[in-house]
Structure 1
């Protein structure tokens, strides 16, 4: 039988194993970009995809939490190259999400 302290430790381990809100925003943004993977990435499309990601992940959280996660996600975005496709950029986001 587990003790309350053991249950609390397990709950904490599970929480720590979850990706951060910023990482979840990046992963959701990547999923949106993969809808049309072969299209050249346009900065406006990235902004729209990032907006969808933020709304899905932090849209119902308190504003300070949501803003912090968005700031971290935006800070982690790699530059948009002239010839990168949505799919290529999505792969970069998935890779970066592991670090935020």
Structure 2
């Protein structure tokens, strides 16, 4: 029996899982990093889809399809709107902020 003030191995594992960003958040952060490659360009919705695809491949590409689809659905549900004046860099900042909410 462990002492209540000392975390057990499962307690520590659970703490680490809870402290880690969700797959959706990681996907948004990775998408933001991809967009920063050409930060000054104006964002087009198709480019966002491509960047999100790169993010999905990197973050959840090796996971079961159900996990991949869940992460993508959650990430897409919180994407900030795209207008014809926002740059890749500005949108990346929006994604960084949004990732903190999922």
**RMSD of aligned residue pairs (Cα, Å):** 1.3
Q: CA deviation at 1:38?
A: 0.5
* TM-superposition CA deviations, 1:20-65 (whole Å, max 9, x none): 0000000000000000101000111101000000010000000111
Three-state SS of the structure 1 residue aligned to 2:57 is helix
* TM-score normalised by the chain length of structure 1: 0.94
Gaps of 5+ in 2: none
Q: Following superposition, which runs of at least 4 residues in structure 1 exceed 4 angstroms of deviation?
A: none
> Cα offset for 1:89?
0.2
2:32 maps to 30
* Number of the residue aligned with 1:93: 95
Whole-angstrom CA distance in 2 between matches of 1:75 and 1:12: 27
Q: Which of these residues, 71, 75, 78, is aligned with residue 77 of structure 2?
A: 75
Task: Give the superposition deviation at 1:96.
Answer: 0.2
> What is the Cα deviation at residue 85 of structure 1?
0.2
1:99 CA drift (Å):
0.4
Shift of residue 72 of structure 1?
A: 0.2
CA distance in 1, matches of 2:49, 2:66: 20
In the alignment, structure 1 segments of 5+ residues that lack a partner are none
